[in-house]
Amino acid sequence: MALALVTGASRGIGRATAILLAREGYTVAVNYHQNVQAADEVVNLIKASGGKAFTVQADVGDEAQVEAMFARLDQQQEPLTALVNNAGILFTQSRVEALSAERINRVLKTNVTGYFLCCREAVKRMTLPLGGAIVNVSSAAARLGAPFEYVDYAASKGAVDTLTTGLALEVAAQGIRVNAVRPGLIYTEMHASGGEPGRVDRVKSMLPMQRGGQPEEVAQAIVWLLSEKASYVTGSFLELAGGK
> Is residue 212 within 8 Å of residue 243, measured between CB atoms?
no
Choose the stretch contacting ligand NAP; rule: CB under 6 A; options: 56-64, 69-77, 94-102, 122-130. Answer: 56-64
* Closest distance of CB 4 from ligand NAP, Å: 15
Name 176's bridge partners: 132
Residues with Cβ within 8 Å of 114's Cβ and at least 6 positions away in sequence, in order, are: 7, 59, 60, 61, 66, 85, 87
Q: Counting contacts by CB under 6 A, is residue 59 touching ligand NAP?
A: yes
Question: Under rule CB under 6 A, which residues in 159-188 are in contact with ligand NAP?
Answer: 183, 185-186, 188
* Closest distance of CB 78 from ligand NAP, Å: 22
- Is residue 153 among the annotated active site residues? yes
* Closest distance of CB 55 from ligand NAP, Å: 10
Binding-site member from 51, 61, 158, 242 for ligand NAP (CB under 6 A): 61
* Closest distance of CB 22 from ligand NAP, Å: 16
Which ranges of the chain would DSSP assign to H, the alpha helix? 12-23, 36-48, 63-74, 101-108, 114-125, 141-144, 151-171, 190-193, 199-203, 215-226
Q: What is d(CA 222, CA 181) in angstroms, rounded to the nearest whole number?
A: 7
- Amino acid at residue number 208: P
Question: Under rule CB under 6 A, which residues in 69-128 are in contact with ligand NAP?
Answer: 86-89, 110
- Amino acid at residue number 215: P
Per CB under 6 A, residues contacting ligand NAP are: 7-8, 10-14, 31-35, 38, 59-61, 86-89, 110, 137, 139, 183, 185-186, 188-190, 193
